[in-house]
Structure formats: structure tokens, C-alpha cells
Chain A
Amino acid sequence: MSSELRYTANTQLEHLHARYTGTGHADLSKYDWLTHQHRDTLATVVGHPTLTSFLAIADGEATGRVKFEMTERMLQPCGPPPAKDED
């Protein structure tokens, strides 16, 4: 939070935002942001039955399996986190 904004009326809103998963901040890395995007995408597929059936037909799988795989993939959708730079 920048210093000017710290004492504004919107501080509470910002706190509220920070409590939700998927929200970001100025120092968020590319990896983290994209991971959230992927999870959101997978969640959308699982959450909308039409999308699930679409994928199931394309892959030739059962909808249940598609759901399962999507859920499984949410763990690390973009692979393991990159090693941290030492600086």
C-alpha cells in the first residue's frame, strides 16, 4: 500500500480485497498471477456444466473424469514455482 493511500477512506476496502484469494498486489510475480488465472479457468470449466460437457466430448472422456482432472490440475496448474532470485 502506498503511503498516501494508507490513510484514505478506502483502506478498509483494500484490506477486504487482500483477504480473498486471487487478488493481487504491486509485487505479484508473473508466475503467481498466471497460476491464479489458470485456477480460475479450471474452476469455470468445473462450475459450468456446458463447458464440462464440451471438453468431455472433445476429449472423449466422461464428464466426471474431466471434472476430476480439472480439479486435480488446480494444485499446480503452471508447474512448480520458479526458484527465487537472490536479490
Chain B
Amino acid sequence: MSAPGSPRLVDSFTVPKDVLKEFEELAEEENVDPFAETASKRQIAQRQSDYHNRRFSRTATESIDAFQAGKDGKEVEGGYKDAMRLQMLEKEEQRVKRAIEEKERRDREEHKEKMDLDKTPPAAEIEEAAKELAAAAGTKRKRRWDEPSDKTEEKKSDTGEWSKEALEQSAPKKRRSRWDATPADVGETPKKSRWDMTPAAGSADVAMTPIIMNAPGYMQEDKHNRYLTDEELNAVLPSQGYAIVTPPPGYAPMMAPRQLMATPITEVGGFQIQESSDAAAAAAAAGLAPELPTEIPGVGNLAFFKAEDAQYFAKILKEEDETELSVEEMKERKIMRLLLKIKNGTPPVRKTALRQITDKARDFGAGPLFDKILPLLMERTLEDQERHLLVKVIDRVLYKLDDLVRPYVHKILVVIEPLLIDEDYYARVEGREIISNLSKAAGLAHMISTMRPDIDHADEYVRNTTARAFSVVASALGIPSLLPFLKAVCRSKKSWQARHTGIRIVQQIAIMMGCAVLPHLRNLVDCIAHGLSDEQQKVRTMTALGLAALAEAAAPYGIESFDNVLKPLWLGIRLHRGKGLAAFLKAIGFIIPLMDPEYASYYTKEVTVILIREFQTSDEEMKKIVLKVVKQCAATEGVTPQYIKQDILPDFFKAFWVRRMALDRRNYRQVVETTVELAQKAGASEIIGRIVNELKDEAEPYRKMVMETITKVVASLGASDIDERLEVRLVDGIIYSFQEQTTEDQVMLDGFGTVVNALGIRVKPYLMQIVSTILWRLNNKSAKVRQQAADLTTRLAVVIKQCGEDQLLSKLGLVLFEQLGEEYPDTLGSIIAAEGAIANVVGMTQMNPPVKDLLPRMTPILRNRHEKVQEASINLIGRIADRGAEFVPAREWMRICFELLDLLKAHKKGIRRAAVNSFGYIAKSLGPQDVLSVLLTNLRVQERQSRVCSTVAIAIVAETCGPFTCIPAILNEYRTAELNVRTGCLKALSFVFEYVGPQSAYYVDSVVTMLEDALTDRDLVHRQTASTIVKHLALGVAGLGCEDSMLHLMNLVWPNCFETSPHVIGAVMDAVEAMRVTLGPGVLLSYVLQGLFHPARKVREVYWRVYNALYLGAEDALVPFYPDLSELSEGQNVYDRHPLQVFI
């Protein structure tokens, strides 16, 4: 603002910029798809790390079934030998690449001035490098996703192998006869069915793209950055004034396959979207997901359809003349339809499709099936649900195909192995399941020959997943069968990678199988033991980790198996530094707990020197491992408290009890855990004495760490060895840190409560101070502070009473009472709970404020909707009703009764239960009449939950005040013509008889007529509930001489045994079983005998069911009641039961 009188700075006012911007943003917002963000989060590839997504750069080879080949007597190609060669080439390629990089770097350094800013190497250099590469590999480089490949060559080439000979032989020729007879393309071009190919949309001249080489930026065609189709452009641009320019000569689009992708979409563009379909259709109607069909010919309605699906299912998206298709093509389309149904269909559709594909798996054959399934699984936009379903398909199909899967083992593994390192637990389990089934189907030999090449693969990702897969194979086929192979791999002289992977397999086996490794422990340890002295550091580290895993799995047994490695491990910690040392320490940490006490003590002393040295480390990983090892050592029996106090504690506290440790969450936890473990040996006072001063530290996170440690130590060890001086410091520190906290959380509160409760009566001198702190904080501005103060009161109430400070309690009670007008529900809940805690310890008579003032104040609070408030107040009211109902006028209780009815609708079960119990207490003090009439009236309300709770409350009232007070009222209410009320009455009766048990004998005759009515009612629920009443009644009166009325009820229940509704038949069967107890099995048998051999099967089935229940319940007692069937004897079969015909 310019001062008055000064010249104006601007001539005119325009709209402020931010307003304009706002409108721009609004306009943009209209085009935003609100689902886009969540959609990308659902996609597995989007959320995973780069490491996980390395799976997209893996290639799979076909693994030839060696068994089958031997039978045919033909030379096979593409098997183990080829895989190994391919893998060697890949390694060589990597080596050369590294060499080139190295060379470039050196060159750059040498000719820095010459190259200057121009980073591009001269063309000659590139050529040279390429030549070198080609020469080294002796073959053409494998085609990568980022290199647009030569189209003409691609068309000819047999894309299955990239080796030289494969390229040479790539001229058209007849396909080799394969054992598995995959789609017979007789006399066609040599189009090998590759599973990792995008399904070509019928046109042979479209370049095939291996999907497995998907990469970011290539397949991410969500609707925002995909290319516009011609149709869309036509719609967007005006028809006049624009001309379509022909592309310049020589322009070849990089994204050739895009057209393939686009075609099916435009073809189905005119599709009608049905109104009945769900979310996808709704989204489509809103214009968010344009032109995606939800109905496919021959498939029907789908739950959703993604743009990416169009690419895979192009063939079935358009109508075709099926008569022109060959058998193989028909089969392919059939598989695609089934897969689409499974992947995108609604649950019922999916279920039938899954069954069909399982049943027909062997007809379809492994080839066509996996050619379709596996590319789908490697799709970048795959979501969890889709992956789960596809994995399920593989699982089912595997089971059916059995050894037919052999050629596809590697391909399946490439797709499934990534599941083993997925962050989702269920994905890992699924992956394990599949690999385990796969290894059972393919056999150990085949699995080994397939996975062997990947063991020393150049890429660490491949080795990692392979090791995990191998451990699954070991658990599926048994460790012993894999041991010889493991031994060989772990001793491999060729490459350290193989040894590394071999040892990692052992580690994974231990992690996965747990204590099941025990029988093979010695073998496994021996297998990897020599790795501790390997020349490669990575192998040594992995060996130590493997040993740690084995020891952890074997704990607490199996120390004798580790004898061989003890010496190298303990020598190793003196030789190594850094990562290697960390792994060695970890192994030691896990082995020490297995040892006998005296050995453990010796070995702990040996390792402590190193541990103390490493206390100073700056490496975070090392710190964690050191802490863990200290914890493990301290926990073993052989380590004496003396030793810990003298040798470990001083350095430990110097190194780890520093402010910096409190900043990292994981360090923090580890330090606290280790210190608590040390305290178990060294004693509470030793540890607390060392850290108690830090409670007054200026850094809050650090104070919190101290408090948490003290809490845990005191909670487990008690406060008995804390002396007077320490006690003063401790309480002082706790009060200080409680007052100084700025972030309100549980730690300080818990700590305060735990310590004060542990000190008990010793805390008396400090109570004045503590309570004045609480009182002061109860009037604090911040709601959180007030809430904490109230919570603290709840925890301290018992101790204050113990110390005999009743004045303090009544003062607190009064202040809290004044605070009941609190507006924040969380705080109010805490205040009520605190008031309740005080009422609990001082009793209703001494309570200050008096109960007759407190309760009327609570009545309006009951209307509060907040759960915490409801629960706290119902607890307090229930307590008053139970202990001190007489201090409050009856009118007030009735008012509360009406409020309580609302609480019966609460979501939390605890609240409903407390409310129902309160009814019981109130009824006890007031007499049941009024409460009962409130409850019976409540049976007329709409909500079922409220009615059900009322019936329970009625039953409780009946239990506390005697059934005679309630049953007449219930019977009277039953005469109401309203269905809900009658059912409610029946339910209430059922609960009454359940609660009163044997007392029901007095009431049987009075309820029989009502039960007659209910059991002959047309309404199913009536008969069901009546049967439940009969059950409780029969069980209650068993042996009390009510057989006559029970038999009468039995006759009324029995015809209901043909009901089919699950709840009804359940209740009826229960009633019949209860009758067995009351009437005896003989009577029941005479009912059952009528229908056991009835001509109608439906009758027989029901009767046999009853018979079985009867038989299991009273097998022995039935013997005298079986009918004498001697007249049925025929031929050799004599049915007389002679032992029963004997008499003296």
C-alpha cells in the first residue's frame, strides 16, 4: 500500500496472478484422472525397487528334456550345453564392456585437453570398440531392447538362439522335430513359437518384440503419455486447414510395435458399453478410460480390461470366421479366452475358466499354455491380483502336466524366481509353492541341469534368485539328494561366483527350513566350512552368513556340528576388517548361544576384545551387528555378571550411550534391547545408576531412550535393588523428563507408571511433588498435556492409596470432577477413566466427590459418540451401579437405563458388554420391573444389534434377580403380534435358560405351551430359536425328572430334522443331541431306527446323520437298545447277539 498522497505505482488493477493461476489449475484438474495415481501404485513394477525390476532384463532359454531326447536317439540342441555357452558369452560380453569403459576412462584422463568438453568419443573409437567386442564374443551381440534391430534380419532369424550357428542356419527350413510337438507349423516359415514374443496380430511382417526385454519408457503406455491414434487426432484437430504430412523419406519410427498395439483398440472402438457392467464401465462412461471394451466375443462380461491386455489378447478381440482357422489356432484362441476370463473376469467366471484350463491342460499341451501365460506374467503393468491369478493357473496346470513341463522349466523359473524376493509375504509363499511343485514334476536332475548355468551368472540378481530357488528345490526334494551337488558347487575351482552361490544356497536352506536342517547339519556345515578361508572376500562373508543362518536355525542344538569352523571363525575375527569381520561376528553371535556354559564363557572372552575394539566403529551395519553379538553373548549362561560389569559395561556405555544413537530408529531399538539384556546379568541398579543422570539430558530423543530402557529394566527386574540415593535421582529424573517432554507419546507415561508402581510405598516422600505436577498439568492449555496428566493419575491411583495419601486422592478426584466439561473427547475419556480409577481404589463411600453428585454429571456424557468416552463412562457407571447404587436416587438410574440403550448400538464389543452388565447391576439394586419394561420395549426397535443386546440384558437381569421375575413378563410379551418382539422374547428365553442352568427345572412346565406354539410356527426363525431354547432347557434339566415335558418337546422338535437351512438344522440337531442327554440314548435310538433304512435316500441321509451323532455320543450305552435282528440271519451270517442271550 502506498501512503496517501504519494503517486500511484500502477495505472490500473488487473486480476492478481495467483487468481489466474488458480483458474488455470482448475482447468487442468478437469482432465486429471483421479485413478491414475492409485493405478500405478497397484502395479507391482511401479512400486518395486530397481533391483527387483532387474527381472525384466533376464532371458530364458528352452531347456531340453534330456530323458526324452535319449529315447528319440536324436541330437538335441538348446539344452544344458547351449545354456552354458550362452552364459559364457554373456560373461565375456560384460568383461569386454568393462574393458571398454576402463579404456575410455583412461583415454579421457590422458587426452583431457584434447577431448575437452566434448564427451563423445570419435567415431573411429566407437568402431574400434565395436570390432573388439564382436571379435571377443565371436558372435553377434544379443539384441537389446534399446537397440532398434535390423528388421530384415529379424524376420529371417530364428530368434530362439543368438549363437552364430543359429544365425547361419536361419534360412527357411523345416523345424526340427521336437519331442513335445508344440504347434505344428507344417511347411510354414520357420516361426518358432517363442513364449516371450508379443502375439503377432496375424500379420507375419510385423516385427516381433520380445516382451521379456521390456524396459521403462517402452511399455509404459498409460493413457497419459501414449501416442494419439489417427482417430483421436482427427477428433481433436479441426478438419479444415490441416493436412496430414507424409513422413520424410528414410524415417523409420522407433516404436514399430506400437501400431500392433493400437490396432485392436481401434477395431473395437465402436463397441457398445453395456449399462449393467461395473466400475470399468462407469469409468469408461465418465470418459476416464475411453475405448476399452468390457465385453469380448466368446468371453462375456469382464470385470475390467486394460489397454495392455489388448496387446496380448488381440486375436480374440475381433470376430473371426472360426471355420478358417486350423486346429492349433483354435486351441490358441481357446487358451487365450480362458486366460482372459481368469485374469479379468468376475469370480464365478474365473472359477469355471480355471477349472476348464486345469481339466484340459494335457490336451492343450505345455507349449501353447506357457507361451501365453508367461508373457502375461512379465508384463510391466501387472497388478497383484492378476499376478496371483496367473500364478495360480501355473500351479494348477503344473500339477496336470507333470513331466511335460520339462522344456519350460527355465522359462517358468525366470518368471517365478522374482517372486521369491518379493516384499509381499504371500507372493513369496506362492513362488515357493510353484518352484516346489515344478521340481517335483521335473525331477532333481532336470532342475539341476537347468539351473546350473545361472549359478555363476554374471549378474548378481540372477545368482541371488537362483540360490533361493535352489533352496526351495532342496526343501521339496530333500536336502540329502541335493547335498552332492552342493558339495561340488561350493568347491568349484572355476569361478568364485559359483562357490558364492553354492554357499548362499546353504544359507537360504537354513533360513527357509529352520530346525529341519538339524539331521543334515554336519553335512551342510562341512559343505561350506572351507569357504571361511576362501581367497575371495565375498565368499568368506557369505560363508560366515551361511554359518550364522545354520546356527540360528539349529538353536539350541547342534553345537558339535560346528566344531570344524570354530577355529577359523575365531582366528578370522583377528584377521579381517570391515564387512568380512561383521559377518564373522554375526556367525559367532549365533554360535555362542549353542555352546555349553564353560565353552561359551571362554569363547565370549576371546571375542570380547574384538567387540570392544569395534565399539568405536563408525559403520552403521557394524554397530548393529556388534550390539546384537553383545546381546547374544550376555544372554548365555556361561558369562558371569562380574565379567560383564568389569569388561564390557564401561566401554559399552562410553560407545553407545551417546545422544547420536537416539536419532536412528533401528540403532535406538538395538541399544535399548542390548542394555536390557545386559541388565539381566549385571542387575538393575548397575545399569540404571549409569544412565539415570541422562534423564536430565537436554536432547529429548535421548531422554526417551533412557526412559524406555529404565522402564524395561524395572519391568523385568523390579526396583528392589535400587538404593536410596539412586531412588532419589531416579524419581527426580523421571519427574523432570516427564515435565520437559514436548512430543506426547506413551514412552514417558509408561516409564513413570512402571517405575512408580515398582517402587510402591517407597514413593511416598515424592507424592506431594508428583501430584502437584499432575494438578498443574491438568490445567494446562494443551489438551494432550491434560490427557497425559489424567492418564498418569489412572496409573498412580493404586500406589497413592498404598501410601495412604487419601487426601491427595480426594483432591485429584475433585479436580478431575471439575474437568468433566472437557471438550476434547480423547482427553475427556482419559479424565473419566482417571476418575474411575480413583473410585475403584477409595471405594464408593469415601469417594470424593460423592457418588450422588458424580453420577448425574455422567448421564449427559453418556450421549457422547466417542468410543473412548463411552467405554470409560460405561465402566465408571457400571462400577457405581455394582458397588454404590444405593447412593443414587432411582429416578437417576432409570434415566441412565434409557441412555444405556443407545450404547447397545456401539461398534465396540467391550462397550456393549459393559452396557449389558450395567443393566444387571442396576436391576439388582432397583428391582427388575422397571428395567425389564425398558428392555422389553426396546425389543420393538429396528436395529437388530440393539434388539439382540436387549435380549442379552434381559437374560442377565433374569440371572441376577431370579428367573421368576422375568419369565412371566417375557411370556406376556410373547403374545404381542409383532414378529420382532416374539423372536426377541424367544431369544431372551434362550439366554435365560442358558444362564440359569439347572434352575430351569422349575420353569419347564410354564414355558411348554409357549414352546409348543413356537415350534409349530410357520416362521423358520421361530422354530430355530425355539429349538435353541429346547437345547438349553434339556441340558439344564438333565437328571432332574422333567422327562415327560421333555419327551413332549422332543416330539415337537423331531419333525424339524428335515429342514435344510443351515442355521435351523444346526439348532435342531443341537436340540436333538441335548435330548440324548436328558432322555437317554435308548429313546433317541427308537426315533432314529424308523428311518435308517427308509426307501428315500433323503430320509436315510438325515437319519444316519442323527444316528452318527448319537453313536459318537453314547456308543457303549446303545448296546442294550439295539433291536434283536436274529430273524434276519441268512446262510453264513448269523445276526444273533449271543452274549446278550445268556442268563443265570
Contacts and interface: CB of A to CB of B under 8 A. Distances in A.
B1060 A4 contact: yes
Interface string A1-18: 110110111100110010
B1131 interface: yes
A38 B1143 CA distance: 18
B1066 interface: yes
A10 B1062 contact: yes
A10 B1033 CA distance: 22
A70 B1139 CA distance: 9
A44 B1114 CA distance: 12
B424 to A, nearest CB: 30
A23 interface: yes
B1107 A24 contact: yes
Given A10-B1062, A34-B1125, A23 B1119 contact: no
Contacts of A14: 1105, 1108
Interface residues of B, number: 38
Interface string B1092-1123: 11000110110011011101100110110010
A42 B1119 CA distance: 9
A7 to B, nearest CB: 8
A20 to B, nearest CB: 6
B1135 A82 contact: no
A20 B1144 CA distance: 35
Contacts of B1092: 24, 33
B1115 A2 contact: no
A5 B1102 CA distance: 10
A68 interface: no
Contacts of B1104: 24-26, 28
B27 interface: no
A58 B1133 CA distance: 25
Given A40-B1119, A41-B1139, A9 B1063 contact: yes
Contacts of B1108: 14, 17, 23-24
B642 interface: no
B1137 interface: yes
Nearest to B1144: A58
Given A22-B1115, A23-B1111, A47-B1116, A78 B1135 contact: yes
Interface in B834-892: none
Contacts of A70: 1139
A10 B1067 CA distance: 11
A47 B1139 CA distance: 13
A71 to B, nearest CB: 12
Given A2-B1101, A79-B1134, A58 B1116 contact: no
A33 B1125 CA distance: 11
A2 B1098 contact: yes
B1 interface: no
B1142 interface: yes
A26 B1125 contact: no
B1122 A37 contact: yes
A47 to B, nearest CB: 7
B532 interface: no
B1124 to A, nearest CB: 10
B249 to A, nearest CB: 70
Contacts of B1142: 54-55, 58-59
A40 B1132 contact: no
Nearest to B1143: A58
B1115 A40 contact: yes
A30 interface: yes
B1060 A79 contact: no
Contacts of B1131: 79, 82
A62 interface: no
A44 B1116 contact: yes
Contacts of A54: 1142, 1144
Contacts of B1111: 22-24
Nearest to A69: B1139
B1134 A78 contact: yes
B755 to A, nearest CB: 51
Contact of B1101 (A13, A26, A34, A43): A26
Nearest to B1061: A8
A9 B1062 contact: yes
Nearest to B1063: A9
Contacts of A17: 1105, 1108-1109, 1112
B1097 A10 contact: no
B1030 interface: no
A8 B1062 contact: yes
B1119 to A, nearest CB: 5
A52 B1078 CA distance: 29
A1 B1101 contact: yes
B1128 interface: yes
A44 B1143 CA distance: 16
B923 interface: no
Contacts of B1066: 8-10
A57 interface: yes
A40 B1134 CA distance: 16
Contacts of B1069: 10
B783 interface: no
B1112 A44 contact: no
A82 B1137 contact: no
Nearest to A11: B1062
A5 B1062 CA distance: 8
Interface string B1041-1072: 00000000000000000001011011001000
B26 interface: no
Contact of A8 (B1065, B1132, B1140): B1065
B1069 to A, nearest CB: 7
Contacts of A57: 1144
B1060 A5 contact: yes
Nearest to B1139: A45
B1116 A78 contact: no
Nearest to A78: B1133
B1144 to A, nearest CB: 5
Contacts of B1118: 40
A45 to B, nearest CB: 5
A43 B1139 CA distance: 11
A9 B1065 CA distance: 9
Nearest to A23: B1108
Contacts of B1105: 14, 17
Interface in A47-66: 47, 51, 54-55, 57-59
B583 to A, nearest CB: 50
Contacts of B1097: 2, 26
A10 B1139 CA distance: 37
- Most central of B1065, B1116, B1119, B1122 by chain A CB within 10 Å: B1119
Nearest to A24: B1104
B887 to A, nearest CB: 49
B941 to A, nearest CB: 28
Contacts of A20: 1112
B293 to A, nearest CB: 35
A26 B1100 contact: yes
A59 B634 CA distance: 74
Nearest to A28: B1104
B586 to A, nearest CB: 47
17 contacts: A5-B1060, A5-B1065, A5-B1101, A8-B1065, A10-B1066, A23-B1112, A24-B1092, A24-B1108, A30-B1093, A34-B1128, A37-B1137, A41-B1137, A44-B1119, A57-B1144, A78-B1135, A79-B1131, A82-B1130
Given A10-B1066, A23-B1112, 7 more contacts: A23-B1111, A26-B1100, A37-B1122, A38-B1135, A41-B1122, A41-B1140, A47-B1116
Interface of B: 1060, 1062-1063, 1065-1066, 1069, 1092-1093, 1097-1098, 1100-1101, 1104-1105, 1107-1109, 1111-1112, 1115-1116, 1118-1119, 1122, 1125, 1128, 1130-1135, 1137, 1139-1140, 1142-1144
Q: Which 9 A-B pairs have the closest CB atoms?
A: A8-B1062, A79-B1132, A26-B1100, A17-B1108, A23-B1108, A79-B1133, A58-B1142, A44-B1119, A26-B1101
